[in-house]
Amino acid sequence: MNNRARPSLVVENDPFLRLLGVVLDPDTDPARIAAFADFFAHDLPDFDDWLRQLRGRLPRLHPARVTLVEDADELRAAIAGADFAVVESLRVGKDELAAAPRLRAVQKYGSIAGNVDADACAARGIPLLTIRRRANIACAEHAFALMLALSRRIHDTGNRISVPALQAAGFSPRTYDRRHTANSNWARIPGIRLLHGTTLGIVGLGEIGRELALRAAAFGMNILYHQRTQLPADIEALHQAHYADFDTLLESADWTAICLPGNDSTRGLFDARRLAQMKPGARLINISRAEIVERNALIGALRSGRLGGFALDPLYEAPGRDDDELLGFGNVLITPHIAAQPRFNALDDIADLITGLEEKM
């Protein structure tokens, strides 16, 4: 296939969507291919073999020309000759579609396609494709892992099963009088709590927030959510989530989970005032961007005891430091940016996305 006959894709320049060029476009910079091979190596040692196998499933789509675009202007300029548009957050509306006579499909990199005019696509007979991203599912699972670890004190007690180990961790283990009682929790760990029956406040019921709500409902939690726009009733019912203003959510939730993008409007959203509004003893889970929670205010809330616990992924700085003040609090759990893992989540998402486009050729 010569260059003129290649399919053409205009793709939003998202770090993971760059993989479309790696897979499809033979003109991709070898340094980028090597960088992705390194990025996936701990889970996928043979990236070249993965590429070969995937390309073998793309007889019509590979090789292709992939144009990465940063903003709306670049998208409009590049879409005219495109067979496919792949976007994460950039808008595809009537004007973009009108400028793209060859367009075979619009692919949203995610399951909520609010940035794509579905009616305009339908009027043109252009399929609107979506994908339920495994990375979002993984983030929701990780949030629950953090919540369970804090509620069950797993981070304090895991692998501490002997009396000396438990004593070294500050506990006072002692077996009970088995003539009269059971021996459950002979380690005498205080403060263990259920998730069932507690209230989870989700700030941002987007793709990750909705995955989190589905799991919270299964755990028997009461679910509140807040974002700028209330969702339609059918979506709320599906996720068993009830809309609340921000103040009410903070004052009512036993657990507050941040599921927001990191940008200028969310940076420092959880400042000293917001943290002080939280229900005394409530716990805060941040699986978005660290800077959404103002660090000094966070430390103050933990030091005062008003905040009952905190969990974070990713970090304020990467790599982190062993002398990070946050690590000195027993009710804090931090993981090193692993929520969306394993890497196969991204690899399988991209493979599904590309083979879906292949079907539209």
Counting residues of the chain whose pLDDT is more than 70, the rounded percentage is 99
Measured distance CA(106)–CA(75) in Å, rounded = 12
**Contact predicate 286/292, CB 8 Å:** yes
* Bridge partners (DSSP) listed for residue 258: 203, 286
Average pLDDT over residues 153-172: 96
E strand residue ranges, the chain? 8-12, 65-69, 84-87, 105-108, 128-129, 199-203, 222-226, 241-243, 255-258, 283-286, 309-312, 332-334
Please check the confidence at residue 221 and state whether its pLDDT lies above 90: yes
Q: How many Å is the Cα radius of gyration of the chain?
A: 24
pLDDT for residue 5:
78
Q: Which class is 3-130 in CATH?
A: alpha beta
Average pLDDT over residues 315-323: 96
pLDDT for residue 1:
41
Please check the confidence at residue 2 and state whether its pLDDT lies above 50: no
Please check the confidence at residue 242 and state whether its pLDDT lies above 70: yes
Closest CA to 116 of 87, 78, 136, 80: 87
Average pLDDT over residues 174-192: 97
User: Which sequence spans correspond to the domains of the chain?
Assistant: 3-130, 136-153+191-334
- Residue 204, classified by CB atoms within 10 Å of its CB into exposed (0-12), middle (13-18) or buried (19+), is buried
Please check the confidence at residue 3 and state whether its pLDDT lies above 80: no
- What CATH number labels 136-153+191-334? 3.40.50.720
3-130 shares its CATH topology with 136-153+191-334: yes
pLDDT digits (tens, 9 = 90+) for 138-151: 999 999 999 999 99
Task: Compute the mean pLDDT over every residue in the chain, rounded to the nearest whole number.
Answer: 96
